[in-house]
Amino acid sequence: MRREIGAWKERGVGWLMAGGLALTVVSVVLIGLGVVMGLFKGVAEEHMPAVSKFLQFFPLTVMGAGIGILMIVGGLGYGLYVERTQNKGPRQTEPNFRVLSRFCLDKNFQLLISDIDIELANKPKFYIRGLLENGLVGEFETTIEVFYNAGEGMLGEANLQGKWLGSFTPYIGGGSENPIGAEWVLPPG
């Protein structure tokens, strides 16, 4: 199984937000229960001492709801930050970049297959999924020129900046070595 770039961050933020949602829901249910018990506190205090013991923990339920909401907002804020800064950062050249797949989406996130669909699409976005030399797999947004220059299965040099693929120069001809362990590449000769 290949490792995805940033997969552990996405998984961690997802679990943070799911935990925040669960904590918020449980806390709101307990707050509602505490409010109902508080209404009947005077009547039930002498007959049910557990009600007064539960009401002692009412501030903790309010704090739990607040922490849960902060976890959700924190996850959303981090997601928006990552979205804004994903194409920023230092430029780097990746030798032996293998193009695994390429695809194009329109503004409604519909997959565009034919060249006619791509030409007629309103604001298409182009993506290339590639295997880096260190074994990481990433999905990079690019321009139409780079999209058509990088065919699936090609090996070449890629210029990356964050999640942006600025250029791809394919290697021409076969070498005697297999740089990333792709057994399906034909040997020279």
Residue 100 placed within a domain: yes
Same domain, 77 and 110: no
Residues 6 or more apart whose Cβ sits within 8 Å of residue 170: 149, 150, 151, 154, 155, 156
Domain boundary among 31, 51, 85: 85
Q: How many domains does the chain have?
A: 2
Across the range 85-94, mean pLDDT stands at: 84
Residues 144 and 100 in one domain: yes
- pTM of model > 0.75: no
Domain end, chosen from 52, 68, 85, is at: 85
Question: Which CATH number covers residue 101?
Answer: 2.40.50.660
Strands 136-142 vs 3-4: parallel, antiparallel or unpaired: parallel
Query: 63 with 116, same domain?
Result: no
44: pLDDT confidence band, cut at 50, 70 and 90?
A: low
For the residues 11-32, what does the mean pLDDT come to? Answer: 89
Mean pLDDT score of the chain, rounded to an integer?
82
98 and 79 within one domain: no
Q: Is there a contact between 19 and 69 (Cβ–Cβ < 8 Å)? A: no
Within 10 angstroms of residue 83's Cβ, the number of other Cβ atoms is 10
Res 52 pLDDT > 70: no
Range of the domain at 106: 91-170
Q: In whole angstroms, what is the distance from residue 101 CA to residue 39 CA?
A: 62
The model's pLDDT over 139-179, given as tens digits with 9 standing for 90+, comes to 999 999 999 999 898 999 999 988 899 999 999 876 545 55
Q: Which of 38-42, 57-61, 62-66 has the lowest mean pLDDT?
A: 38-42
Structure tokens at 95: 């030798």
By three-state DSSP, how is residue 24 classified?
helix
